[in-house]
Amino acid sequence: DVKVTQSSRYLVKRTGEKVFLECVQDMDHENMFWYRQDPGLGLRLIYFSYDVKMKEKGDIPEGYSVSREKKERFSLILESASTNQTSMYLCASMSVGSNQPQHFGDGTRLSIL
Amino acid sequence: AQRVTQPEKLLSVFKGAPVELKCNYSYSGSPELFWYVQYSRQRLQLLLRHISRESIKGFTADLNKGETSFHLKKPFAQEEDSAMYYCALSGANSNYQLIWGAGTKLIIKP
C-alpha cells in the first residue's frame, strides 16, 4: 500500500516566516504534487515534480517554491508566509503512465497569524 | 479549455435514498475520469475510475461521452457515505495531471 507522509498535521506560523512543508513517499513514484485545498475551490495545484531536481509550476505558484533533492521527498517552501496562505496543503504522489491514481498524504493544516 | 464542473457544492439526502453526484467535463480528446473521496479527518483517496468499470462501496459511475458527464451514483445511501467527493480528469492534453472539480459535500441524514 502506498504511503505518503506529510511531516505535520497542524502548523502555526507568523507572517513573514519562511515555512517548510515536507512530504515523503515510499513507492518510488516519479511524480509528486503539492496542492492547496480550500472550501469551494477544490484542489489547486501549486507545483509538481516529475523527477529529482525537476519541477513545474502549477496553477498558483506565487509565493511558493519547491525542492526535490531525492526521489522520495518533495518539499514545499513558503518564502515569506502571508495570511492568505492559511490553508490545507496536500501532497500526492503518482506513478508514471496513463490512468494512474494519485495517492495523498493526510494533509497539513497551516495557519499563518 | 479543460475543465471539470461539479454543479452542487452541497447535496443532502436521507439514508436509503438514491444518490447522484454530478460531474461534467470539458476536454478535447479521450479523458480518464476519476472520483476521489475524503471522509471526515481522513486523507483524500481514490474511489473509482472509469476505466475499471467497477463498483466500489456500492457506487458506480458511467462515462457518457455524448453528454460529457461522469456522474457518481448509488441506489441506497448510507450514513457512512457522508464525505467530500471530487471528480477529476486527466489525459494527454494535460500531461496526465489531474484537473479537479470544486467538490461536492454529501450529507446523508438518518
Domains of chain B: which residue ranges? 3-109
What 3-state DSSP class applies to A33?
strand
Within 8 A by CB and 6+ apart from B20, the residues are B71, B72, B73
Q: Which residues of A touch B (CB under 8 A)?
A: 4, 33, 40-45, 48, 90, 92, 97-107
Going edge to edge, which strands form the sheet with B72-74?
Answer: B19-21, B72-74, B60-61
Residue B96 has pLDDT above 80, yes or no: no
Instruction: Kindly list the residues from chain B whose CB atom is less than 8 angstroms away from the CB atom of residue A99.
Output: 32, 49, 51, 90
CATH superfamily of this structure's domain A4-112? Immunoglobulins (2.60.40.10)
Instruction: Kindly list the residues from chain B whose CB atom is less than 8 angstroms away from the CB atom of residue A49.
Output: none
Half-sphere CA count of B54, side-chain side, radius 13 A: 10
| Residue among B42, B86, B97 minimizing CB distance to A42 | B86
CA torsion sign, B3 to A4 to A80 to A68? Answer: negative
| pLDDT cut 90: percent of chain B above it | 73
- pLDDT for B31 equals 87
Residue A2 has pLDDT above 70, yes or no: no
| Residue among A44, A101, A107 minimizing CB distance to B43 | A107
CATH class of B3-109: mainly beta
Looking at the complex, does the CB of residue B51 fall below 8 Å from at least one CB of chain A? yes
- pLDDT for A97 equals 76
**Higher pLDDT pick, B28 / A18:** A18
Residue ranges per domain, chain A? 4-112
Q: Output helix, strand, coil percentages for chain A, rounded to the nearest 5.
A: 5, 55, 40
Q: Quote the cell numbers at residue B5.
A: 464542473
- The average confidence (pLDDT) of chain B is 92
Q: Quote the cell numbers at residue B105.
A: 459535500
User: pLDDT for B28-81, tens place per residue?
Assistant: 888 899 999 999 989 999 999 988 878 889 999 989 989 999 999 999 999 999
CB B51 within 8 A of CB B62: no
Residue A70 has a CB neighbour count (10 Å cut-off) of 10
Give me the residues paired with residue A88 across strands.
A37, A109
